[in-house]
């Protein structure tokens, strides 16, 4: 019996050894990916940025000493957050994993709006005191071109394919129309211009090649993104902040003077239904989350602290809640990133 047990024991041990070491086809299921969704808010009056959890609405704040944060851009290709600092004449780079400032880039005087292309190549920054645009190479995080606009630049938008940039400019003569300039991102030459209403803000839709221009003087234009020819122009009182649905079929616009939110058909340029009253005064800038079901709106002002939320059902908005951010919340950006 002892001999029999030894004979059977040896093959069993060997079988265990061979099975554990030699089965290269054994399947180990991957752990599900984990993401974080945040809305980053530039608090102009607080010298800070707020990180709002886009699902739970919980808030944490990161101070940037001595700063005046204006607008914020998340660049997925670099997994970095860029914050425009008007007081410091800088762009601060924040690591979204650590929520800390890693480095800063010196730009012009009067940092205001800014935008990056969809490929992570360039960030364009409007400097409205210098009347210039700082073009930042996102591979080196250095200013590679300073463009003299000749008029006061305001909003800026770089196309998703990184080929064009649009800059809205203020006319020094209040009786004359403001303008939109178009630039090449390769040689920085000005390639077109168009007259629009006063205080224009921009968003280019890549699928239809339409540049929407929301003007606080009471119009929303749709321009051809290639030559800036007029496609449509419709009346929208106090039109200001602008952001589309993820499918680019709807454009949402704030009525900054009338405390309203517009839903606009991106094909016709006409309003979908009736405007919605915003939860707070002075609705300023907008972002929409990845699944297109939730909107965040900043409400600016010297003592303001509100960021409001809205549910999106198709083209219809329903009011959500008010979140407390820092003082004078201005620009904001949404991101969804895999947590390492």
CATH assignment at residue 163: 2.130.10.10
Q: Residues 240-262, buried b or exposed e (16+ Cβ, 10 A)?
A: bbbbbbeeebbbbbbbbebbbbb
Q: What pLDDT is recorded for position 26?
A: 62
- The answer as to whether 305 is a domain residue is no
CA distance 307 to 324: 6
- Please give the Cα distance from 51 to 61 (Å, whole number): 6
User: Is the pTM higher than 0.85?
Assistant: yes
What is the model's pLDDT at position 53?
Answer: 98
Q: In this predicted model, what pLDDT tens digit does every residue of 90-141 receive, in sequence order?
A: 999 999 999 999 999 999 999 999 999 999 999 999 999 999 999 999 999 9
pLDDT of residue 5: 42
Structural tokens at position 64: 């940037």
Q: Are strands 111-116 and 219-224 parallel, antiparallel or unpaired?
A: unpaired
**C-alpha–C-alpha distance, residues 75 and 335, integer Å:** 9
Query: What percentage of the chain has pLDDT greater than the value 70?
Result: 91
- Both tokens of residue 248? 């680019």
CA–CA gap between residue 238 and residue 98 (Å, rounded): 38
Which residue, among 304, 260, 266, 268, has the nearest Cα to 286 in the 3D structure? Answer: 260
Domain span including residue 166: 57-280+326-340
pLDDT score at 179: 98
List per-block mean pLDDT (blocks of 10 residues) for the chain, which spans 340 residues.
40 41 62 94 98 98 98 98 98 97 98 98 98 98 97 98 98 95 98 98 98 98 98 98 98 98 98 98 98 98 98 98 98 94
* Domain-embedded: residue 15: no
State the pLDDT at residue 15: 39
Assigned domain for 126 exists = yes
In the chain, % helix, strand, coil (3-state, to 5) comes to 5, 55, 40
Do 49 and 41 form a contact (C-beta atoms < 8 A)?
A: yes
Q: How many residues does the chain have?
A: 340
Per the domain annotation, does 257 fall within a domain? Answer: yes
In a domain, 197, yes or no: yes
The confidence score (pLDDT) of residue 27 equals 66
Give the burial class of 122: count Cβ atoms within 10 A of its Cβ; 0-12 exposed, 13-18 middle, 19 or more buried: buried
Residue 187 lies in a domain: yes
Establish if 316 belongs to a structural domain. no
Number of domains in the chain: 1
* E-only strand ranges, 162-206: 164-170, 178-184, 190-196, 200-205
Contact of 248 with 264, CB cutoff 8 Å: no
Q: With H, G, I as helix, E, B as strand and everything else as coil, classify residue 267.
A: coil
CA–CA distance, 249 with 125 (Å, rounded to integer): 27
Q: How far is CA 282 from the centre of its chain?
A: 19
Residue 89 lies inside a defined structural domain of this protein: yes
Helix (H) or strand (E) holding 123: strand 122-127
What pLDDT score does 12 carry?
39
Q: Report yes or no: 62 and 37 within 8 Å, Cβ to Cβ.
A: no
């Amino acid at each position: 019996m002892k001999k029999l047990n030894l004979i059977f024991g040896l093959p069993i041990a060997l079988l265990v050894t061979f099975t554990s070491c030699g089965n290269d086809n054994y399947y180990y299921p991957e752990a599900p990916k984990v993401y974080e969704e945040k809305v980053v808010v530039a608090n102009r009056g607080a010298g800070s940025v707020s990180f709002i959890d886009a699902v739970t609405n919980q808030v944490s704040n990161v101070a940037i000493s001595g700063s005046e944060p204006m607008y914020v851009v998340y660049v997925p290709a670099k997994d970095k957050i860029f914050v425009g600092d008007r007081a410091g004449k800088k762009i601060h780079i924040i690591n979204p994993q650590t929520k800390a400032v890693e480095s800063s880039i010196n730009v012009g005087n009067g940092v205001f709006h800014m935008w990056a292309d969809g490929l992570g190549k360039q960030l364009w920054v409007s400097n409205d005191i210098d009347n210039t645009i700082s073009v930042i190479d996102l591979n080196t995080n250095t200013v590679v071109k300073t463009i003299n606009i000749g008029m006061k630049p305001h909003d800026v938008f770089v196309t998703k394919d990184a080929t064009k940039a649009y800059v809205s400019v203020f006319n020094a003569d209040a009786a004359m129309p403001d303008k939109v300039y178009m630039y090449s991102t390769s040689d920085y030459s000005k390639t077109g211009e168009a007259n629009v209403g006063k205080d224009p803000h921009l968003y280019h839709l890549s699928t239809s090649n339409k540049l929407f221009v929301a003007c606080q003087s009471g119009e929303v234009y749709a321009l051809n993104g290639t030559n800036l020819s007029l496609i449509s122009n419709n009346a929208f009182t106090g039109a200001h902040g602008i952001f589309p649905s993820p499918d680019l079929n709807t454009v949402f616009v704030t009525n900054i003077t009338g405390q309203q939110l517009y839903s606009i058909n991106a094909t016709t340029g006409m309003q979908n239904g009736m405007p919605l009253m915003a939860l707070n005064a002075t609705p300023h800038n907008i972002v929409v989350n990845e699944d297109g079901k939730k909107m965040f709106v900043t409400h600016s002002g010297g003592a303001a602290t509100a960021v409001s939320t809205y549910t999106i059902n198709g083209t219809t908005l329903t009011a959500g809640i008010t979140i407390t951010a820092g003082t004078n919340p201005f620009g904001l950006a949404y991101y969804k990133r895999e947590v390492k």
